[in-house]
Chain A
Amino acid sequence: MEGETDEEQQRFSYQQRLKAAVHYTVGRLCEEVAADKEMQFSKQTIAAISEVTFRQCENFAKDLEMFARHAKRSTINTEDVKLLARRSNSLLKHITEKNEEIAQFNLERKAKKKKKLEDSREPPDAGVEESKN
């Protein structure tokens, strides 16, 4: 019983720290936007935005888990993320582009790795051959 409450407290403090982190990030972003648009953000606004962001993150997490389970997977995929973001067209486009970028990057990395492997294989072979020779 005490352990539970302790756990709860721990979780709560953890949550609070997360919230604080979010709040800080939101504050920074709002500062940037304020500098850009030459408009001031009040503290309450920033607090409200950070609260909303936090709650929305919770929702996103639940949805992503649901989507993954719906697709009979146990890992959350980029497809799930895309499904989540489909409502907002611009966001969806952005995510898709990023996804493609990342995919491409991964491919490139894979290609590099393969090359490296081959290279690393070759030199030893070459080395072996050379040594042989």
Chain B
Amino acid sequence: MTEVMAHRDTPDSEPTTRTLLRRVLDTADPRTPRLPRSARAGSPSLHSSQRRRSLRSAQRTLLETPSSRRLSSQTKTTARQCSYGANAIGKWSHVQASRHLEEQTPRTLLKNILLTAPESSVVMPESVVKPEPAPQLVQPSRQESSRGSLELQLPELEPPITLAPGLLALGRRKQKLRLSVFQQGMDQELALSQEPRGNADASSLTSSLNLTFATPLQPQSVQRPGLARKPPSRRPVDVGAFLQDLQDTSLALAPLGLGKPAQPLVERAEEVNALDMGFPNINSSVSGEGGVKPLEDRVGEEAEERMEEGLSISEMKEATGVQRSAKAEEHEGHTEVQEAEGSQGAIEAMEPEGSSGDEDTSGGTATPELASNTPEFLQARRLHQFLEPTPPPSAADLCSEPLGPLSARLPPRARTIGPRPHKDPYKAGLSHYVKLFSFCAKMPMEKKTLEMVEKCMDKYFQHLCDDLEVFAAHAGRKTVKPEDLELLMRRQGLVTDQVSLYVLVERHLPLEYRQLLIPCAFSGNSVFPAR
């Protein structure tokens, strides 16, 4: 083991999966007696499930360890390997034998992982090139012997070396192959894929055609497209719009003259803006972070989260062009989740408040025209959002009060709301309809289509409200009444001389509306005799 460790330390400062797996293979081999394959051939199938399970966990830890390896947990890993090695002795002997069997064995998996893993260490690739031509001929024998005698650096490099050209070519596909390999190891139910795999192994050993190794794996992933897990397509948060709104409302808060809570926020926002304007570099993010942190200390926890998001996002937005790639990703990854829970929760929680406040302020507008309400609504919403989570730093009392109900409100909200809406909030209702539409279509739909649908619906509703307003004005009224709507429906052709409005109501609306809308439908149960 010490030998393993020693020579592992020497070649590369960054140990790779390859070396780790190599180590694993090393540990297992010295203890396994070399028995003829035929003797071992019979046994693997019996304890396959048990082996799979334990080896699966072994694999998992093995694959996990590369990440933790850099933390100088080398002893840990080796210890783990030893423990697994003890379990794996008997299995791996079978494994080696059953390499050509249909069953997918961990050994073959690990070997494939080794083969497909790219040469990330600096030393390896150089020495890879040199001994390349030599061992190709001697591979089959080498393979067997190399397993036992991999203490030396040279022989250790050989098996991976032979496949180097193919590996370098496969480097790009490393991710996908690894995943598919891993998942296949997890499933262990493929009878079909075993054969090409076994053949691939054999062929890879004998021939120098590393491509043959690659190709069988490809069709496997194709055969099971569901297994090849795509990385979760996370849309980056539309920070630009959010920041714009932030700035607009933060600047708008001052003229509104709302009092204390607004102003510290405005000051803070201006601070941040000043910071960003002053340092249009990557450094600004650092200084911005420094600026954010003292703010954090002042404010309470949940407010802190949101403010941090808001400010970090605002600073991100300002210096977007320069540092987007570097810092933004960090922040985004960090704030995405938080946003989803925090700000979204705040927004959603404030929406009913905002809307109620809005109704009070906007007064009796005859027509429910969204366009006119939106700026007020937005402001009211932002107002509430910033009022509650941003208590003035001086008054700690105020801190507790808004945070109390807010924190109570946030956790349930955080769970219900997932991704943040990427559009304005007044389009939230439209997105709901668009989702309904995509559901009713029963077919997969492109995003462009959905956007188009949303645009059309927006225009449709705008037209609708305009018409209603005009109809009401035409009748010399200021309030929209059902007659106006009936006129509209008539124009639309829904209500005709044959089909009256009441018929439509009966047909399409739930029964409760019928008694509401049709005056005589529920008026009297006793019809006969008329009294």
A residues contacting B by CB (< 8 A) are 63, 66-67, 70-72, 79-80, 83, 86
Contact = CB atoms under 8 A, between A and B. Distances in A.
Contact of A63 (B475, B476, B484, B491): B491
A71 B470 contact: no
B475 A66 contact: no
Contacts of A86: 470
A67 B470 contact: no
B483 interface: yes
A63 B493 CA distance: 11
A87 to B, nearest CB: 9
A72 B483 CA distance: 11
A83 B487 contact: no
A66 B487 contact: yes
22 contacts: A63-B491, A66-B487, A66-B490, A66-B491, A67-B474, A67-B487, A70-B471, A70-B474, A70-B475, A70-B483, A70-B484, A70-B487, A71-B474, A71-B475, A71-B476, A72-B475, A79-B474, A80-B474, A83-B470, A83-B471, A83-B474, A86-B470
Contacts of A67: 474, 487
Nearest to B473: A83
Nearest to A67: B474
A67 B490 CA distance: 11
A72 B475 CA distance: 8
A83 B467 CA distance: 9
Interface string B458-484: 000000000000110011100000011
Taking each of A70, A79, A86, which has the highest tally of chain B beta carbons within 10 Å of its own beta carbon?
A70
Contacts, number: 22
Nearest to A63: B491
Q: Sorted from nearest, which 4 A-B pairs have the closest CB atoms?
A: A70-B487, A71-B475, A83-B474, A70-B475
Contacts of B470: 83, 86
A63 B495 CA distance: 13
Contacts of B474: 67, 70-71, 79-80, 83
Nearest to B483: A70
Taking each of B470, B474, B487, B491, which has the highest tally of chain A beta carbons within 10 Å of its own beta carbon?
B474
Interface in B361-407: none
A9 B470 CA distance: 40
Interface string B507-521: 000000000000000
A75 to B, nearest CB: 14
Contacts of B490: 66
A127 B476 CA distance: 49
A79 B475 CA distance: 10
Nearest to B463: A87
Contacts of A83: 470-471, 474
Contacts of B491: 63, 66
Contacts of B484: 70
Contacts of B476: 71
Contacts of B487: 66-67, 70
B493 to A, nearest CB: 10
B285 to A, nearest CB: 50
A79 B483 CA distance: 18
Taking each of B483, B484, B487, which has the highest tally of chain A beta carbons within 10 Å of its own beta carbon?
B487
Interface in B187-243: none
Nearest to B490: A66
Contacts of A63: 491
B342 to A, nearest CB: 46
Given A71-B474, A71-B475, 8 more contacts: A66-B487, A70-B475, A70-B484, A70-B487, A71-B476, A72-B475, A83-B470, A83-B474
A86 B470 CA distance: 9
Nearest to A68: B474
Contacts of A80: 474
Nearest to A86: B470
B65 to A, nearest CB: 70
A119 B483 CA distance: 50
A71 B471 CA distance: 9
Contacts of A72: 475
Nearest to A83: B474
A133 to B, nearest CB: 54
B472 to A, nearest CB: 10
A66 B474 CA distance: 12
Nearest to B496: A62
B113 to A, nearest CB: 67
A1 B474 CA distance: 42
Nearest to B484: A70
Contacts of A71: 474-476
